[in-house]
Amino acid sequence: GEDVEQSLFLSVREGDSSVINCTYTDSSSTYLYWYKQEPGAGLQLLTYIFSNMDMKQDQRLTVLLNKKDKHLSLRIADTQTGDSAIYFCVSDSWGKLQFGAGTQVVVTP
C-alpha cells in the first residue's frame, strides 16, 4: 500500500532551526500537508504545498518538495518552546489522506 515515512523524534535548542523530513510513495499525491498536534489536542493545519510547487514559505515555515524523490521537508526557523509538538506529514491524493506516524519535536531552552 501507499506509505508516508518520517523520523520519529527531533530535539532542537530554542532559537535554532528545526528540519523535519518525510518521504512518501503515492505518485498521484496532489497536495502535501504538515499538521501540528499538541498534547491532548486535535490536528492543526500548519501549511501545505501543491504537488507542482517545489517551495513554499510562510513566515517561520519553509516547505521544500522534491517530487522526483518524493521527499518533503518542513523547516521551522527560530524554533520556540511553543513549537514543541508532534508534526504529521500527510499526502493527499484527491481527498484520500495518508498520514506519517508523526515526528515528536522537543524544544529545549
If one asks whether residue 64 binds another protein (CB under 8 A), the answer comes out as no
Q: Which of 50/78 has CB closer to another protein? A: 50
Q: How far is the CB of 33 from another protein (least distance, A)?
A: 6
Per DSSP bridges, beta strands 103-108 and 9-13 are: parallel
Provide the grid cell at 65: 518538495
- Name residues whose C-beta falls within 8 Å of residue 81's C-beta, 6 or more positions apart in sequence: 14, 107, 109
78: left (phi over 0), alpha (psi -120 to 50) or beta: left
Provide, rounded to whole angstroms, the least separation between the CB of residue 101 and another protein: 5
Q: Is the separation of the CB atoms in 78 and 17 below 8 Å?
A: yes
Q: Binding-site residue total for another protein (CB under 8 A)?
A: 23
Question: Which 88-107 positions form the footprint of another protein (CB under 8 A)?
Answer: 88, 90, 92, 94-102
Contact footprint for another protein (CB under 8 A): 4, 8, 30-31, 33, 35, 41-43, 45, 48, 88, 90, 92, 94-102
